[in-house]
Amino acid sequence: MSVFAVSKEVLMTVIQELGKTHELHGPRVDRASGQVFFERAGAAEDIALEAELPSMPPKELFFPQVDRLLKYRYDSAARSVELTRLGQERPKALIGLRPCDLAAIQCLDRFFLGQEYVDEVYRTHRRKSFIVTYTCNEPARQCFCVCFHTGPAAEEGFDLNVTRLASGYLLEAGSEQGRALAVGLGLRPATEEQRMEKERVVERSIALFPEKATGNKAWASRVMNRVTTGFVKPEVWEEIGKKCFECGGCSYVCPTCSCFNVEDACGAEGECERLRTWDSCSLESYTRMAGDHNPRKLVEDRRNKRFFCKLSYSQSKKYLRPGCVGCGRCVWVCPGDIGLPSVVEQVKS
């Protein structure tokens, strides 16, 4: 792997160079609320690399919350359909992506692209993207990525990885296009001491995680085994179900959730759009069938299914990693305090 040492000014030059061929997207702080959102940036200077983990996952760039797949108009008199496919987009550059969110995108890649059928809509969004990850020098208050080996530093899947050092930044090229960009700009190779400093940054970041996160590292795999084998008492799921508000918030902020619905929305003039929208297995309507039959009507059955998706070995085998990346968004969004760490604690006890 090619490694370079750059100043902040040079790092901005790298991002500006990407902006010539890609749409720039990165963390930005909302002035009114103080929340961080991963969104379109007009220039390199608009991206807040040091900001906390974005409130919503960057997966929306490749798997939008509302995605317009096509539009059509039906002429009943002529019995003809005029159909227009949508989705031609400029390549995107994701700047300052946190390692846990990169791991989540890799999960989505395997779901939409790595199985028997390839999702062409997702591939259109994902095509020609450029990913610049950013090492977490310290964890956010809700993070537990160390439990699932997704942070605090990315190890694969990026084009460039940025690590803040005491003086300047370390830039690692993880792909040929990342290396070509760095070499084309004449970046200076990093010294061995700068490489070692990056390792110390990662070690110090891990040491800053709360004891609850580091202490649950071994228990995460044990709970995966219990969930997979069904060795969790029904009373545990019932207790978890009682705390669930069925709001779906955990699914909508989860960077690996891939459930969706497809529907047609038609206007008064006869023109219709086919939409793909996020859905949630937490909602009672998710598995409701014709005739009002619902195999998962009870909320505890839906909680069971959600955590099976996140923690079972069968999911890990299919996507080459657990369905949870330890970002902790479910922790702060859940009004019932049944984010994944809480569930692990309840299964433990």
User: pTM higher than 0.85 for the full model?
Assistant: yes
The pLDDT of residue 217 is 67
The span from the CA of 303 to the CA of 147, in Å, is: 21
The pLDDT of residue 212 is 65
Give the DSSP H/E element, type plus range, for residue 195. Answer: helix 192-207
Q: Give me the phi and psi of 38, to 5 degrees please.
A: -95, 105
The span from the CA of 319 to the CA of 224, in Å, is: 15
CB distance 23 to 92 below 8 Å: yes
List the structure tokens of 212: 């609850």
The pLDDT of residue 209 is 85
The pLDDT of residue 214 is 67
The span from the CA of 145 to the CA of 331, in Å, is: 13
CB distance 104 to 324 below 8 Å: no
Nearest to 239 by CA among 179, 304, 158, 188: 304
Could you list the mean pLDDT of each consecutive 10-residue stretch along the chain, which spans 349 residues? 94 96 95 93 94 95 94 81 78 97 96 89 93 95 89 95 96 96 96 96 91 69 85 89 91 95 86 93 89 87 87 83 92 92 83
The pLDDT of residue 312 is 87
